Chains A and B, each alone.
Chain A
């Protein structure tokens, strides 16, 4: 069977599964809709959290980023896993004991203030929309690449599927589809990685193959370690060593901290821990979540190193006409572009960009081909030796082809990419809809609506959110890539400190919390806007505050938040007696069972 047909079958079957689950798990109450009735097992919640957390970016782009950035990409690996330690020890168990539905719920109640609640709602909506636009686009891209449908049609199909199970099933539908999506995506990620590891090192586990010696073409051990070899070949091409960083230590430190605290403060991750039955389950569920995430996150750096080695050894200095089939296929889809600067018919790799920006082609191969049959790139060449542009996303998407794996593996990767994007999108949309229907409508504007009306409002809000997300998916704002720093920076500078102090510092009052959030948010927001949008030409280390890039500035915002909140709370009145009782109550596990009956 050909790849195209297999891909239709795999993606179609996975969609049928998700829809089946949605019909089986319809939400009957607001509690079902917001927190899946509070009865999800810790293992299922762990898998759902992992699927929720690992987006199209984790699945498609991360291994590619690691392949090109080497050690510098460690910030993502540590940052996006280390946050779970904070979550498990500092936030999840106590928020579970608190037993409400959303993050603004906690902030509004703990700080006895609708101002704090509203600030939290605005942040939730902003952070979640930033994130969701990229997911919808991811679905569209996978469709376009593997099923050869239009990107926009792909987005619309993705919207329809999410619509079905998010609007119908709410958190309950989302949780169980996410468990299924996790299984699809992890299988799709691990299968090619294992194949590749066996091929290159003879190790079944990519995690150990990563540190093993490489095999030659005949399968004999060469006695040279993979990473040693990779360091050697990238340095020969003029890059820095793969295992050394190019970012300053202080910047790596701050970015890692911002990603960790941001992860722990992201509302769509936190709410997942409201769905388990007990405090005890919330603690161990964070462990399951990290276990499921670690399967992918410890494999991705191995994939990155294998792929980079493989890619350079296959492509560099090879005659264009002798290259393997996949090179031409990805050139056809515009993700590879070759500009034969020295006219020798061989593809040379070197440090630096081969030309300015992404490749523009003079037309397809049949209309205008170069001397060796290549697609003609019209970009102005740069004056280095580098001749080939290779989009980073190819690393994961093309791995099965590069490793000569069977067609069903390629189909599996397509289904995995869609699963990763859909699961994250659904989790985010739910957070947006509950922020609107529960926090804004029920808790602030119209407290007297019935549960049935609230449920209806939640569904309507989900529909509106899906449409907006779809719109951004079809007309992506050019700044999507830049605003990812926002999501983490803002979560780190706002939610994380405020929730943490709400639990660990009984004396923290509403004045302190609001002042802290405001300072943290405004500082982080302005810093990122200044360097990303107002004066992007100044975005380099010598202009940064303490040498911290916009990606890492959330950490500084967080520190400011802590300081301001503490100082302000010292000079204003202590929180009311009953609030201090709430704090004492959430610190003790017993009684969580009753509390979540809202």
Chain B
């Protein structure tokens, strides 16, 4: 039972990581690099959008991702009863 619980916990964690990494990839490699030229046709305040993602936006999203992941994992730890103390 304990082992099954640990496996289920791990599977949930991996799923969470994958979904966050998709966002991570899309904002940096997607919006900041591969699609930068297309997005640069859109004006975002005084920035071209692709340029903004590459030099500002991706960093804000990275930060948000880490915070959200830490929060989701704290919940997941409790749900599967593997939290510390």
Q: Which residues of A contact B (CB under 8 A)?
A: 66, 71, 73-74, 77-78, 81-82, 84-85, 88-90, 93, 207-208, 210-213, 225-228, 243-245, 249, 252-253, 256-257, 278-280, 283-284, 286-287, 290-291, 294, 297-298, 301, 504, 584, 587-593
By the criterion CB–CB under 8 Å, are B59 and A294 in contact?
yes
CA of A280 to CA of B70, assembled, Å = 7
Across-interface contacts of B58 in A (CB, < 8 A)? 77-78, 81-82
CB distance from B45 to the nearest CB of A (A): 4
By the criterion CB–CB under 8 Å, are B44 and A211 in contact?
yes
26 A-B contacts, Cβ less than 8 Å apart? A66-B55, A71-B36, A73-B55, A77-B55, A78-B28, A81-B62, A85-B21, A88-B70, A89-B20, A89-B66, A210-B56, A213-B46, A252-B33, A280-B77, A284-B70, A286-B70, A287-B67, A287-B70, A290-B66, A294-B63, A297-B59, A301-B55, A504-B14, A587-B6, A587-B13, A589-B82
By the criterion CB–CB under 8 Å, are A256 and B44 in contact?
no
By the criterion CB–CB under 8 Å, are B33 and A212 in contact?
no
Query: Which chain A residue has the least Cβ–Cβ distance from B47?
Result: A211
Query: Which chain A residue has the least Cβ–Cβ distance from B67?
Result: A287
B residues 48-76 touching A (CB-CB < 8 Å):
48, 51-52, 54-56, 58-60, 62-63, 65-67, 69-70, 73-74
By the criterion CB–CB under 8 Å, are B28 and A256 in contact?
yes
By the criterion CB–CB under 8 Å, are B40 and A85 in contact?
no
CA of A286 to CA of B65, assembled, Å = 11
CA of A90 to CA of B33, assembled, Å = 23
By the criterion CB–CB under 8 Å, are B62 and A280 in contact?
no
CA of A212 to CA of B52, assembled, Å = 13
Given contacts A287-B66, A294-B60, contact A90 B85 (CB under 8 A): no
Among A71, A88, A90, the residue within 8 A (CB) of B54 is A71
CA of A15 to CA of B62, assembled, Å = 34
B17 part of interface (Cβ distance < 8 Å): yes
Across-interface contacts of A245 in B (CB, < 8 A)? 36
CA of A426 to CA of B82, assembled, Å = 36
By the criterion CB–CB under 8 Å, are A298 and B60 in contact?
yes
Across-interface contacts of A589 in B (CB, < 8 A)? 77, 82-84
By the criterion CB–CB under 8 Å, are B28 and A88 in contact?
no
By the criterion CB–CB under 8 Å, are A290 and B56 in contact?
no
By the criterion CB–CB under 8 Å, are A243 and B24 in contact?
no
By the criterion CB–CB under 8 Å, are A283 and B51 in contact?
no
CA of A423 to CA of B76, assembled, Å = 36
Across-interface contacts of B9 in A (CB, < 8 A)? 587-588
Across-interface contacts of B77 in A (CB, < 8 A)? 280, 589
CB distance from A533 to the nearest CB of B (A): 29
Given contacts A212-B45, A294-B60, contact A243 B40 (CB under 8 A): yes
Q: Which 6 A-B residue pairs are closest in the complex by CB-CB distance?
A: A225-B46, A74-B54, A211-B46, A287-B66, A283-B70, A211-B45
CA of A350 to CA of B76, assembled, Å = 58
**Interface of chain A, main secondary structure:** helix
Among A227, A297, A592, the residue within 8 A (CB) of B46 is A227
Knowing that A207-B56, A212-B46 touch, tell me 15 more A-B residue pairs with CB under 8 angstroms: A71-B54, A78-B33, A78-B54, A84-B66, A89-B69, A90-B17, A93-B73, A210-B56, A211-B47, A227-B47, A256-B28, A286-B70, A287-B70, A290-B66, A588-B10
Query: Which chain B residue has the least Cβ–Cβ distance from A291?
Result: B63
Across-interface contacts of B66 in A (CB, < 8 A)? 84-85, 88-89, 283, 286-287, 290
> For A66, A81, A208, A593, which residue has the most chain B Cβ atoms within 10 angstroms?
A81
Across-interface contacts of B34 in A (CB, < 8 A)? 249, 253
By the criterion CB–CB under 8 Å, are B62 and A82 in contact?
yes
CA of A78 to CA of B77, assembled, Å = 30
Across-interface contacts of B47 in A (CB, < 8 A)? 210-211, 227, 243
By the criterion CB–CB under 8 Å, are A226 and B46 in contact?
yes
Across-interface contacts of A225 in B (CB, < 8 A)? 46
Given contacts A82-B24, A590-B82, contact A256 B6 (CB under 8 A): no
CB distance from A71 to the nearest CB of B (A): 6
By the criterion CB–CB under 8 Å, are B62 and A590 in contact?
no
By the criterion CB–CB under 8 Å, are B33 and A243 in contact?
no
By the criterion CB–CB under 8 Å, are A85 and B32 in contact?
no
Across-interface contacts of B65 in A (CB, < 8 A)? 85
Among B3, B6, B51, the residue within 8 A (CB) of A243 is B51
By the criterion CB–CB under 8 Å, are A256 and B85 in contact?
no
CA of A584 to CA of B7, assembled, Å = 9
Query: Which chain B residue has the least Cβ–Cβ distance from A74?
Result: B54
Query: Which chain B residue has the least Cβ–Cβ distance from A504?
Result: B14
CA of A82 to CA of B3, assembled, Å = 33
Among B45, B48, B67, B83, the residue within 8 A (CB) of A280 is B83
By the criterion CB–CB under 8 Å, are A81 and B84 in contact?
no
Query: Which chain B residue has the least Cβ–Cβ distance from A229?
Result: B46
CA of A588 to CA of B74, assembled, Å = 12
Query: Which chain B residue has the least Cβ–Cβ distance from A304?
Result: B55
By the criterion CB–CB under 8 Å, are B84 and A290 in contact?
no
Across-interface contacts of A592 in B (CB, < 8 A)? 84
Q: Mask for B30-43, Cβ within 8 A of A = 1, else 0? A: 00111010001000
> For A279, A286, A298, A588, which residue has the most chain B Cβ atoms within 10 angstroms?
A588
Across-interface contacts of A207 in B (CB, < 8 A)? 56
Across-interface contacts of B32 in A (CB, < 8 A)? 74, 78, 256
Q: Mask for B1-32, Cβ within 8 A of A = 1, else 0? A: 00100100110011001001100100011001
Across-interface contacts of A252 in B (CB, < 8 A)? 33
By the criterion CB–CB under 8 Å, are A84 and B52 in contact?
no
> For B55, B63, B66, which residue has the most chain A Cβ atoms within 10 angstroms?
B55
Query: Which chain A residue has the least Cβ–Cβ distance from B18?
Result: A89
